[in-house]
A and B are shown apart, each in its own frame.
Chain A
């Protein structure tokens, strides 16, 4: 009470300060995030083309949505996106967790190695995409050379072949982002109190049992959190893949975001692509929410 009286006399009230501090942030977010989103939603019910100015804009109701959901090509892209997400998340979970378990054994140089391993994920995804096209080059690429050094497959083309291209993007994403899961799992492992293991030791639990009953359950919420972040990011994935394969060959690696970009910024079908964007946004939000609920349940256990 005493405090309050003092600065009432000397300056603005806490409440005023609070609002002065928060308002600019909220306003900016409203202007550059929420307003565009509402704008996109309202455009999604029209036949608007942002490049055809002066053309009459017609209200078309749910036609754009019906068109998108009825299009085979869209479902194909969704499948491509889903399988990209499945494999990247799976690989990053397995490798990331294993690395974290290994790093958790405090050996010399641990800190330095962690920093080195983390480097790839700090890079610009677009630039990463570019230089991997060089590594994947079937004639001069280092990747192909190393693979053929261990087992001679002959000439193969990671980017040009429809069977290999989806793996090409999975490999790069895994290379880049495994450190992310690793770091978070590592934080989880370090948060396990030692006494749990000591108690288990007393109960004569063997190492495997300790792993299954102590380590895994404690690290699982962290792993799930890491996968949530990665899932959201990979659902939005655009930059790395565009520069690496530009969606090709054909449409073998054309993720939903890449298709959206083509509809929105090349064909300029603004209304149609807004509807597409809304569908993607609802999908990610829906899945995200369900996932968080499941995650919280696991955490509570």
Chain B
């Protein structure tokens, strides 16, 4: 354990000389700072052992992730050789030349996109959507899901009280109405001498938080961004009555079920509220479930379920592909990493360590569904995922959505229809400026 001291000491030296410290045979990988990133560090030790190439990591906290990384790309920065960028960046990455196109490399190395789950290839790798132009290898499958306090649900006295009131048992909610019943049941309830609340849901304003929450409801209500037969025609689709209803429902969830002060919350805040025992439910990404269940070895405290349906079954897509940054001086080393990462046995270990592999060999293996309590839910969710716009202009599309949804849900300004109308209005402007309309 002497090396731990060495780490601390060398960190000082390293920090001082961080610009020069990068060895010639090393690459830098950028991702968000969260549980799966630690698993990737662990996994990458094998790569270093096999090839002698050091992998340095730069993990950015989620609230700043998009801001900092996109800034870096727009600055043509050379910090990163590899970037695990969010699914919505793929359009910009391809169009503005930030990412290296991988088709030739895949052909040469015999990496087939057919080995990866179709939904993930579509979501994380291709641009334009549905084409066979690949700008990333699916790295981390993810979708928005829910965790609940199974230990509270299992208490007979709570269950009978709930049943008397609503006529059915406490359990995994079948739809959003049931979810709402259960959340309000726990809201303000005292359990073991502590006041508890309903659900920790996404409400963050600064990056993408509230959009990633409210779309979970909207998709379940059957929302479509645009006319399927006429692209970018949003009037009557994105502001259709079912979407209005979903948005109103989400506001009701925020007002009646969220813990106090939960007005600017995303992944970490939801986890925090859940772990500290404040809430019965939390909405979050699958990425966090390995961490949550690690603390609950016998599985008595926490249960997981996929996004409930309402009118249709759907879930908000998360997750990322891994791309080679075009400005890097070490693209060959970066490609070597991708080649290594794409191997089935590496992918299997990736899942074992807490990452979400997208490889069909891993997902299709008979052991997969029993390897974790949330594995089945993950498979189900990945079959029904929907994503926000992946257009090159996605940030311009995200910001008005964040603003007007937050203004309506948290700030209580205007009506749901007005909020959606305003969003469409700004989206039209963006598409017009981009020449799509």
Interface bracket on B: 20 to 34
Give bound CA distance, A262 to B401, whole Å: 13
CB of B128 within 8 Å of the partner chain: no
Tell which of B4-12, B108-116, B367-375, B409-417 binds the partner. Answer: B409-417
Contact A157–B263 (Cβ < 8 Å): yes
Binary contact readout A143-179 vs B (1 if CB under 8 angstroms, 0 otherwise): 0000000000001010111100000000000000000
CB of A251 within 8 Å of the partner chain: yes
Kindly list chain A residues whose C-beta atoms are within 8 Å of the C-beta of B396.
Answer: 267-269
Contact B411–A265 (Cβ < 8 Å): no
Give bound CA distance, A157 to B96, whole Å: 42
Contact A53–B97 (Cβ < 8 Å): yes
Binary contact readout B408-426 vs A (1 if CB under 8 angstroms, 0 otherwise): 1011110000000000000
> How distant is A83 from chain B, measured CB to nearest CB, in Å?
16
Binary contact readout A174-204 vs B (1 if CB under 8 angstroms, 0 otherwise): 0000000000000000000000000000000
Give bound CA distance, A204 to B138, whole Å: 88
Contact A250–B403 (Cβ < 8 Å): yes
Chain A's closest residue to B95 (CB) is A52
Q: Restricting to A204-249, which residues have a CB under 8 Å from any CB of B?
A: 245-249
Contact A248–B205 (Cβ < 8 Å): yes
Contact B408–A249 (Cβ < 8 Å): no
Contact A268–B412 (Cβ < 8 Å): no
Give bound CA distance, A52 to B435, whole Å: 13
Give bound CA distance, A50 to B408, whole Å: 31
Contact A47–B411 (Cβ < 8 Å): no
Kindly list chain B residues whose C-beta atoms are within 8 Å of the C-beta of A269.
Answer: 396, 433
Contact A248–B264 (Cβ < 8 Å): yes
Give bound CA distance, A266 to B408, whole Å: 22
Binary contact readout B321-342 vs A (1 if CB under 8 angstroms, 0 otherwise): 0000000000000000000000
With A52-B96, A162-B413, A265-B71 as given contacts, are A249 and B399 in contact (CB-CB < 8 Å)?
no
Kindly list chain A residues whose C-beta atoms are within 8 Å of the C-beta of B71.
Answer: 265
Contact B410–A249 (Cβ < 8 Å): yes
Contact A266–B264 (Cβ < 8 Å): no
With A138-B261, A266-B395 as given contacts, are A248 and B96 in contact (CB-CB < 8 Å)?
no
CB of A252 within 8 Å of the partner chain: yes
Give bound CA distance, A247 to B410, whole Å: 13
Contact B410–A160 (Cβ < 8 Å): yes
From A53, A138, A248, A254, contact of B410 by CB (8 A):
A248
With A246-B205, A268-B74 as given contacts, are A162 and B261 in contact (CB-CB < 8 Å)?
no
Contact B67–A51 (Cβ < 8 Å): no
Kindly list chain B residues whose C-beta atoms are within 8 Å of the C-beta of A110.
Answer: none
Contact A138–B260 (Cβ < 8 Å): yes
Chain B's closest residue to A246 (CB) is B206
Give bound CA distance, A54 to B97, whole Å: 10
> How distant is B394 from chain A, measured CB to nearest CB, in Å?
10
CB of A104 within 8 Å of the partner chain: no
CB of B406 within 8 Å of the partner chain: yes
Kindly list chain A residues whose C-beta atoms are within 8 Å of the C-beta of B206.
Answer: 246-248
Contact B406–A160 (Cβ < 8 Å): no
With A249-B205, A268-B395 as given contacts, are A160 and B97 in contact (CB-CB < 8 Å)?
no
How many chain A residues touch B (CB < 8 A): the figure is 30
Contact A262–B399 (Cβ < 8 Å): yes
Contact A251–B403 (Cβ < 8 Å): yes
From A52, A155, A249, A266, contact of B263 by CB (8 A):
A249
CB of B259 within 8 Å of the partner chain: yes
Contact A248–B263 (Cβ < 8 Å): yes
Binary contact readout B80-118 vs A (1 if CB under 8 angstroms, 0 otherwise): 000000000000100111000000000000000000000
CB of A139 within 8 Å of the partner chain: yes
Contact B406–A51 (Cβ < 8 Å): no
Kindly list chain A residues whose C-beta atoms are within 8 Å of the C-beta of B410.
Answer: 160, 162, 248-250
CB of B359 within 8 Å of the partner chain: no
Give bound CA distance, A54 to B392, whole Å: 14
CB of A137 within 8 Å of the partner chain: yes
Kindly list chain B residues whose C-beta atoms are within 8 Å of the C-beta of A160.
Answer: 261-264, 410
Kindly list chain B residues whose C-beta atoms are within 8 Å of the C-beta of A247.
Answer: 205-206
Kindly list chain B residues whose C-beta atoms are within 8 Å of the C-beta of A254.
Answer: 403
Chain A's closest residue to B254 (CB) is A160
Give bound CA distance, A161 to B261, whole Å: 9
Contact A162–B395 (Cβ < 8 Å): no
5 further A-B pairs in the complex, CB-CB below 8 A; given A159-B261, A160-B264, A250-B411: A246-B206, A248-B406, A249-B407, A250-B403, A265-B71
Offer 20 A-B interface pairs, CB within 8 angstroms, sorted by A: A51-B96, A52-B95, A53-B96, A139-B261, A139-B278, A157-B260, A159-B261, A159-B263, A160-B263, A161-B263, A162-B411, A162-B413, A248-B411, A249-B407, A250-B403, A250-B407, A250-B410, A262-B399, A266-B67, A267-B399
Question: Lowest 4 CB-CB distances: which A-B pairs, in order?
Answer: A160-B263, A250-B407, A250-B411, A138-B261
Binding site for A on B (CB under 8 A): 67, 70-71, 74, 92, 95-97, 205-206, 259-264, 278, 392, 395-396, 399, 403-404, 406-408, 410-413, 433
